[in-house]
Structure 1
Amino acid sequence: MTSPRETALSEAEVTQWLSENLPQWRLEDGWIRRTYKTASWKSTLMVITTVGHLAEAAWHHPDITASYAWVEVRLVTHSAKGITRKDLELARKIEEVIAWQPAKDGVFEGTPSDQRFAYIKYD
């Protein structure tokens, strides 16, 4: 699968887009990054697997660093030597899925407050 070469955005464009659309993400050392705090190793693995699924479906692959109770996701388009629309849109989709919580008046109740079932530590 090949596509036309992506064009890297300027640092100012990336910073502005993130502040307007994904304020939890940051531009640092040439990557856009987000750290998700989790409740346990089980939760950490669920985040990694979810990010992996989204990245594979988008055919764009992040760097991931993880520990017991956190996951850092880093995105850059190596072929463009910088951040492209691909990185921003994948970050948006990751954020949408990982940070999703059911509506208080919806049919889903969300994860219980019991630590045995805790998942993401939402911002």
Structure 2
Amino acid sequence: MAKATVFDEAQVEARLKSELPTWRLEEGWIRRTYKTAGWKGTLMVINTVGHLAEAAFHHPDLTASYAWVEVRLMNHAAKGITESDFALAKKIEEVVTWQPGLDESSPLSGTPDDPRFAYIKYDK
């Protein structure tokens, strides 16, 4: 297997700006903090990220508290940010931030606008 290409800081920053604007580069990792409505939402985000990471066989570091989850990606074997990190970050972003209620063509209504059902705080 060929060694993955590691992107330099300027390349990572440019890609984040154009492809993943809610993610940031910090201390050699690409990172995203998802704010949740509480513990239930935090667990849902962790489980979602866990499923996607295991399916991709590319595992992020996670830090969690009552109402937030931070996802950190870096290719440990390559010792830097690679295409795999961007691919998984995009999939995580797509799934965690999915709001079917915003798509008028979807038969799915999405989570009701009621605090009893809230689980993630979407970026507006």
TM-score interval for Structure 1 and Structure 2 normalised by the shorter chain: over 0.9
1:1-123 to 2 correspondences below 5 Å: 3-102=1-100, 103-105=102-104, 106-123=106-123
How many pairs were matched up?
121
Q: For the residues of structure 2 that align with 1:36 and 1:8, how far apart are their CA atoms?
A: 26
Q: Tell which deviates more after alignment, 43-52 or 100-109.
A: 100-109
Letter in 2 for 1:97: V
Could you list the runs of 4 or more consecutive aligned residues of structure 1 that deviate by over 3 angstroms after TM superposition?
A: none
Write the deviation string for residues 59-102 of structure 1: whole angstroms up to 9, x where unpaired: 00000000010000000001111100000110000000001111
Q: For the residues of structure 1 that align with 2:88 and 2:2, how far apart are their CA atoms?
A: 18
Runs of 5+ consecutive residues of structure 2 not aligned to the other structure: none
Runs of 5+ consecutive residues of structure 1 not aligned to the other structure: none
Q: For the residues of structure 1 that align with 2:21 and 2:5, how far apart are their CA atoms?
A: 23
What is the root-mean-square deviation in Å for CA atoms of aligned residues? 0.9
How far 1:104 moved relative to its partner? 4.3
Q: For the residues of structure 2 that align with 1:66 and 1:40, how far apart are their CA atoms?
A: 11
The sequence identity of aligned pairs, in percent, is 67
How far 1:34 moved relative to its partner? 0.1
Letter in 2 for 1:122: Y
TM-score, normalised with respect to structure 1:
0.94
Q: For the residues of structure 1 that align with 2:2 and 2:53, how far apart are their CA atoms?
A: 19
Q: For the residues of structure 2 that align with 1:79 and 1:66, how far apart are their CA atoms?
A: 24
